Amino acid sequence: MTQPDFPPADAIEAAARRLLDGGLAAFPTETVYGLGADAENAAAVASIYATKGRPSNHPVIVHLAPEGDVAYWAADVPPEARQLMQAFWPGPLTLILKRAPHVGTWVTGGQDSVGLRCPSHPVAQALLSAFARGKPGGQGGLAGPSANKFGQVSPTRAEHVRAEFPDEVAQGMPVLDGGAAEVGIESTIVDLSRLDQGVGPVLLRPGHVSAAQIAAVLGRPVSRPDAAAPRASGTLKAHYAPHTPLELVDDARLARALAGEGLPAGRVALVAYAAPRASAGNIEWHAVPGDPARYAQALYARLRDLDGQGYARILLQAPPLSAEWDAVNDRIGRAAAAFSLETTGLQDNTVAGGPRDH
């Protein structure tokens, strides 16, 4: 992959100054683009929620520079957290830890835990370092949920952010262009905030760093969420959805669709791994990679592209139900749930307990 022309240092410094002044700035990470604000500025973080239309009890992740001190943000940094940081930071892993007393509940959704991660993208790291240098004691963190309207498809390119927030961009919000996101879906989230209660590591959201990789580092299994698990970013039953109705189809439903059964009038996009057999005249096939990492990298950009082509529906062939596809299945399951909930009158915007609630 050709490395893009990254923003010059003065553009990064200007974005950092805007953040220090309480404004917003969009920045690239290896996962998706984030909408950043000073995590210690309640008004700035409130501006993120207002701009995105995000529920106030839905926590945001605090992004730290590689030189940042996790102990500034967490009341306790257990050995398990240090092990995972050593193995996967900088990178697409978020740790949920007990928040330090001075960390505002405006980034935690009112909870006593806080999500922390250190992104690996060089532009994100440069911005975080420049921002932290302007903070007392050099300890700065950016609240940085995905830079899109709440519940919609996350942005993996700078042009996605500009299209999502044209008014904010027109008013001077910086959008730092770091090229296409390498991972393409949001970070893995692991809860370590209840180890002192005898609750081991819990996977709240699957991602590029797998549960098996985490278990291998810690030497113990990683559990699925229980009823008392903290709320975490991106764990609504319906999330990551395009505007065009999306239907996740198994092999049986795919066969019926190819025969023209249950399709709306108008053009229908079929996102599948192999060219389908003879199909109804209004179905247009779009190939996707058969490898889960490459599929994840392309997923959101593909959905955004299809969203702008006037399709009546998007049919998405269901991937295998294997551990390698866990993160992809999580995202597309939530995207499809947005429409199944709407059509049944059961739209639910409460925060789910974990990644398997849909």
- Which residues belong to the annotated binding site for ATP? 54, 63, 146, 154, 205, 240
For 225-277, give the secondary structure using H, E and C.
CCCCCCCCCCCECCCCECCCCEEEECHHHHHHHHCCCCCCCCCEEEEECCCCC
C-alpha dihedral (314, 315, 317, 318), degrees to nearest 10: 90
* Rg of the chain over all Cα atoms, to the nearest angstrom: 20
d(CA 151, CA 53): 9
Amino acid at 30: E
d(CA 51, CA 45): 10
95: three-class secondary structure by DSSP: strand
C-alpha dihedral (357, 226, 329, 234), degrees to nearest 10: 80
- Which residues belong to the annotated binding site for L-threonine? 31, 117, 187
- Which residues belong to the annotated binding site? 31, 54, 63, 117, 146, 154, 187, 205, 240
d(CA 288, CA 272): 6
Q: At what angle do helices 211-218 and 79-88 cross, to 10 degrees?
A: 120
d(CA 172, CA 11): 12
